[in-house]
Amino acid sequence: MATLTEAPPPPAPAAPEKAPPRRRGRRTPYWLLLPGILWLVVFFAAPMVYQASTSVQTGSLEEGYEVTWHFATYWDALSAYWPQFLRSVAYAASATVLCLLLGYPLAYLIAFRAGRWRNLIMILVIAPFFTSFLIRTLAWKTILADGGPVVDALGTLHVLDVTGRLGWTSGDRVLATPLAVVCGLTYNFLPFMILPLYTSLERIDGRLHEAAGDLYAKPSTVFRKVTFPLSMPGVVSGTLLTFIPATGDYVNASLLGSADTGMIGNVIQSQFLRVLDYPTAAALSFLLMAAILAMVTLYIRRSGTEELV
Amino acid sequence: MTTNPTKTRPDAADRGGDVRLAGIGKTYGSFTAVHPLDLTVARGSFFALLGASGCGKTTTLRMIAGLEEPSSGTVHLGDRDVTALPPYKRPVNTVFQSYALFPHLDIYENVAFGLRRRGIRSVKKQVGEMLDLVQLGEQARRKPHQLSGGQQQRVAVARALINHPEVLLLDEPLGALDLKLRRRMQLELKRIQTEVGITFVHVTHDQEEAMTMADRVAVMNAGRVEQLGAPADLYENPRTTFVANFLGTSNLVEAEVDTRGGGDVVVKAAGGKLVLPGARCSAPAQAGGRVLVGIRPEKITLTHADDAGSVPEGRNRITGTISNTSFIGVSTQYVVDCAACPEFEVYAQNIDRDPRLVPGADVVLHWDPAHTFGLDAGQSVLAGTTGEAGTAGDGAA
Amino acid sequence: MAFVTSLLNWFRRHLVVIAGLLTLAYLLLPNVVVTVFSFNKPNGRFNYEWQRFSTDAWKDPCGVAGLCGSLSLSLQIALWATLGATALGTAIAFALVRYRFRARGAINSLIFLPMAMPEVVMAASLLTLFLNMGARLGFWTVLIAHIMFCLSFVVTAVKARVMSMDPRLEQAAQDLYAGPFQTFVRVTLPIAAPGIAAGALLAFALSFDDFIITNFNAGSTVTFPMFVWGSAQRGTPVQINVVGTAMFVVAVLFVLASMAVGNRRTRRKA
């Protein structure tokens, strides 16, 4: 750093991770960066390029593939699988909204109302992470089982009538319906919403609430005018952290859904691992990436204009 | 200055009345932050709560604001009991410590916040005038973090004042500013207070700040009000060792009461006799009892032992040896060792300096008995000095 | 009437707490189910319906073919992935915070993108790379993939810690006669240690629990999540719940213990 006073001439750089960061040597940062960045270039960036090229190849497994700039694969993939695309976005968006609605009170509770229980609740929020998420997702099969207490209660309360009319459930089942998939997605990504929300709420100076109250704001107005606007950074990163992985997820749709609830992840997975139609799979994956990048950029732009603190 | 066309200044000053705290106290579990206290702040006055950190002054202020629920007692504004009112329903506004400006709102919206919450539609004129009053008209569309500390402080004042509160509460409002700015803002706040005529209750740990600005000062220590009065009264006639030491510096000498009569108390200390007015003796002084005799360093005159004969009759006198001198500029501070008190402090104006007054010189200290005060000998001599703050829990503001 | 009003008032005042606790219940319900069903004795192959209490599975956690093998494989991969990602990620984090260099923006995006990419996209693209190179899918491809996606998280965790570090501390160390290496070992590293530890823990958890990327790149290698996935199709043995419960309990105990140690330390210091 420029502010450093003394800088002995660096001897030959040692093993990169051990290189003392105090040296002013011009090459030190590059030695530190090299292995990790190389790893990301080779195993993250290069595959993206390979995938793009695969998507415009034609051929078959037996005869091999060849780049033929066959862009029609994209069109074919899109026309065949647009319902899954739409479904992915719809399910992920619903799950994100649900996560926000469910997560906000809990994050608020931990940040402002938990007192000495704060650490314990925090642990309870993170602890489920330590059990394999597949096992926990399977548990929802039990919870939402046909004729189980949850489904019975929903039926008795006529909730299932309403959700059935909306097309979220069918008959007296919850399992294998869109509702079950969204419920699973919400559950799986809820902590990713709660943690950034908590971080940005916790950072709010408590005196701002007092100042707002002192300036004639009712508690609900304090929330609307001060707390919520100041928690926007958490809301933005929480929604991104929920929406992005939820869109590409295929585990919940596989375990809790049915053939009618397939998401784009399910298609990519089966095209790659079962059908072995690599060009179509690569095209779909590339489309998903492009779609998400576009949506995320747009979203950040929109929320960025509000000038977050 | 007034800004609100519907509420002219005299009107604003007429509203409400005295702030009356009756038996108000606050405990947290087994810790008593504020012992039940009674306090009346006259309408339109500038009142200061002074004390070291953790003495309960901020808690008292927050109970007036409604930000803290008192464990006992009531808060009255004029004839109205506001104890049960939440802060957003009290006609009281606060200038918070380090200001608590809303970081997501610009200066204009910060100042307009209270008006908007009360459903006032056209705020433009008022906010503009208020920003002009605090000389921040140009900065209206800036965010708080783009302003300097002094500017933020003025926004905080404007944001509170625009609501024409019956009482303005200031919680260490100048604590974050540097010394020079602090002096300027002290005068500025005093000017604004005189102009708007609103009752100001000011919390501070800076005795000089309290004395310059306030009409009346309550010195707090360990959750109790030690003494209450005009700054000059507190300074000239402290009633506890804490006040004597916390406000300025005092020389305290332990003495035995010799006689009491004719309005004066005569005490024996270190072989000599000292006289003090009975009215200035807050200790019960019976003959044979013990008192602490106090005298401010600047009231004392130093005379070289060779000239002892020239000291007029009727003055209290003590002899000693100069152990240390430091030259301050306007004055010279001497530390004198004497039998009655090991470290007697004396401040002498640098008018005519006696070149013989150097460390090692024998001197006579003498002063007008009328400046002497007497305190209960049952208290710690050191209470209120920096060494022993006299407060149990230091640290919490 | 007054009772109803005060009840409503109480409810309104505690609305946030009630809603928050309900969410917490929603988060924890599956763990409760997993634990309860680890004591089930199911009829048939699937452990989705409660039959009767039994501790059979707890007595014989490895009683299902392949389960404990997959568990140990997952632990190995997680361990190596943690080591690799922590070493590479810490170096990057130090370089990013402490040095100026060209292409900073590009490098920052390269680190950010893997976290902003759906796993299935990374998984699929990495698979096309391995297929194109003709690599044999298995332990090594999984390890490579895990290091790749854990790397960014380690960088983020360490960077946050190093950034909050006062650079004057290092200057002070140098002022007090510590050479560059001494400064790094005695001052920089100890202060950055909590960030590195946090990054490593995160990497371990991510790697151990990863399914989607592993699913694409494991070939016939079976990690623990892959085992669970497979059993979801073929039949879920109770032992899965036993492992899930044990992991939960061990993790919670670990956290509580480290908190207790931390508390004792701060108390002793005070």
Q: What is the ipTM of this complex?
A: 0.88
CB-based contact, B28 to chain A, within 8 Å: no
Asked if residue B115 has pLDDT above 50, the reply is: yes
Asked if residue B2 has pLDDT above 80, the reply is: no
Interchain proximity C30–A187, CB inside 8 Å: yes
- List of chain C residues whose C-beta atoms are within 8 Å of the C-beta of residue A85: none
CB-based contact, B5 to chain A, within 8 Å: no
- pLDDT tier at C242, thresholds 50, 70, 90: very high
- List of chain C residues whose C-beta atoms are within 8 Å of the C-beta of residue A29: 95, 98-101
Q: Which residue of C has its CA nearest to A34?
A: C92
- Residue found under tokens 């707002």: A212
- pLDDT tier at A211, thresholds 50, 70, 90: very high
Say what the pLDDT of residue A278 is.
87
Q: Which residue of A has its CA nearest to C144?
A: A43
CATH number of A94-261: 1.10.3720.10
Which H or E run contains B273? strand B272-277
Strands B316-327 and B331-338: antiparallel
- Cα A147 from chain centroid? 32
Say what the pLDDT of residue B298 is.
93
Q: Where is pLDDT greater, at C265 or B360?
A: B360
Asked if residue C1 has pLDDT above 70, the reply is: no
Task: Tell me the per-residue pLDDT of A163-181, one tens digit each, with 9 for 90 and over.
Answer: 888 888 888 888 899 999 9
Say what the pLDDT of residue C267 is.
65
Residue to substitute from A116, A214, A221, interface B, most B β-carbons within 10 A: A214
What mean pLDDT comes out for the span C235-251? 90
- pLDDT tier at A307, thresholds 50, 70, 90: very low
Asked if residue A49 has pLDDT above 50, the reply is: yes
Interchain proximity C127–A22, CB inside 8 Å: no
Would you call B60 helix, strand, or coil by DSSP?
A: helix
Interchain proximity A217–B113, CB inside 8 Å: yes
- Boundaries of every domain in chain A: 94-261
- List of chain A residues whose C-beta atoms are within 8 Å of the C-beta of residue B159: 215
What mean pLDDT comes out for the span B235-246? 92
The per-residue pLDDT of chain B, averaged, comes to 86
Q: Are B260 and B286 in contact (CB under 8 A)?
A: yes
Interchain proximity C114–A44, CB inside 8 Å: yes
Taking Cα atoms as reference points, which of A87, A84, A95 lies closest to residue A243? A95
* Helix A178-202 with A133-143: angle, nearest 10 deg: 130
Task: Tell me the per-residue pLDDT of B254-264, one tens digit each, with 9 for 90 and over.
Answer: 888 888 877 88
Interchain proximity A216–B88, CB inside 8 Å: yes
The sign of the CA dihedral C85, C88, C90, C96 is negative
- pLDDT tier at C268, thresholds 50, 70, 90: low
DSSP state letter for B252:
E
Give the right CATH number for B9-236 from 3.40.50.300, 3.40.50.720, 3.90.1640.30, 3.40.50.2300. Answer: 3.40.50.300
Interchain proximity A215–B114, CB inside 8 Å: yes
Say what the pLDDT of residue A305 is.
42
Say what the pLDDT of residue A309 is.
30
Would you call C241 helix, strand, or coil by DSSP?
A: helix
- List of chain C residues whose C-beta atoms are within 8 Å of the C-beta of residue A296: 116
CB-based contact, B153 to chain A, within 8 Å: no
Would you call A191 helix, strand, or coil by DSSP?
A: helix
What mean pLDDT comes out for the span C42-69? 86
What mean pLDDT comes out for the span B99-107? 90
Across-strand partners of B25?
A: B72
- List of chain C residues whose C-beta atoms are within 8 Å of the C-beta of residue A5: 171, 174
**Rounded Cα gap, residues B266 and B276, in angstroms:** 7
Asked if residue B30 has pLDDT above 70, the reply is: yes
**Rounded Cα gap, residues B75 and B79, in angstroms:** 10
Chains B and C make contact, 3+ CB pairs within 8 Å: no
Interchain proximity A138–C228, CB inside 8 Å: yes
Task: Tell me the per-residue pLDDT of B33-51, one tens digit each, with 9 for 90 and over.
Answer: 999 999 999 999 999 999 9
Interchain proximity B88–A215, CB inside 8 Å: yes
Amino acid C263 reads N
CB-based contact, A69 to chain B, within 8 Å: no
- pLDDT tier at C179, thresholds 50, 70, 90: confident
What mean pLDDT comes out for the span B295-305? 92
Fold of the C65-236 domain: MetI-like fold (1.10.3720)
Rounded to a whole number of angstroms, the distance from the CA of A93 to the nearest CA of chain C is 14
Say what the pLDDT of residue B16 is.
61
Which among A211, A225, A229 has the least Cβ separation from residue B100?
A: A211
Q: Are C65 and A2 in contact (CB under 8 A)?
A: no
Tell me how far CA of residue C240 lies from CA of B198, C37, C137, in angstroms: 72, 10, 25
What mean pLDDT comes out for the span B179-203? 89
Strands B216-221 and B46-50: parallel
Highest mean pLDDT, choosing among A16-25, C73-82, C259-268? C73-82
Percent of chain C topping pLDDT 70 = 97
Say what the pLDDT of residue B239 is.
92
Would you call B41 helix, strand, or coil by DSSP?
A: strand
Q: Please give the full DSSP string across B203-241, using - where no structure is assigned.
A: EES-HHHHHHH-SEEEEEETTEEEEEE-HHHHHHS-SSH
Residue to substitute from C18, C23, C71, interface A, most A β-carbons within 10 A: C23
**Rounded Cα gap, residues A206 and A115, in angstroms:** 14
Q: Which residue of C has its CA nearest to A107?
A: C20
Asked if residue A277 has pLDDT above 50, the reply is: yes
**Rounded Cα gap, residues C248 and A131, in angstroms:** 5
Question: Which partners does chain A have (≥3 C-beta pairs < 8 Å)?
Answer: B, C
Interchain proximity B100–A309, CB inside 8 Å: no
What mean pLDDT comes out for the span B81-102? 89
- List of chain C residues whose C-beta atoms are within 8 Å of the C-beta of residue A11: none
Q: Which residue of A has its CA nearest to C23?
A: A102
Burial class (CB in 10 A: 0-12, 13-18, 19+), C270: exposed
pTM of the model: 0.80
Asked if residue B393 has pLDDT above 50, the reply is: no
Percent of chain B topping pLDDT 70 = 93
**Rounded Cα gap, residues A250 and A255, in angstroms:** 9
CATH number of B251-376: 2.40.50.100
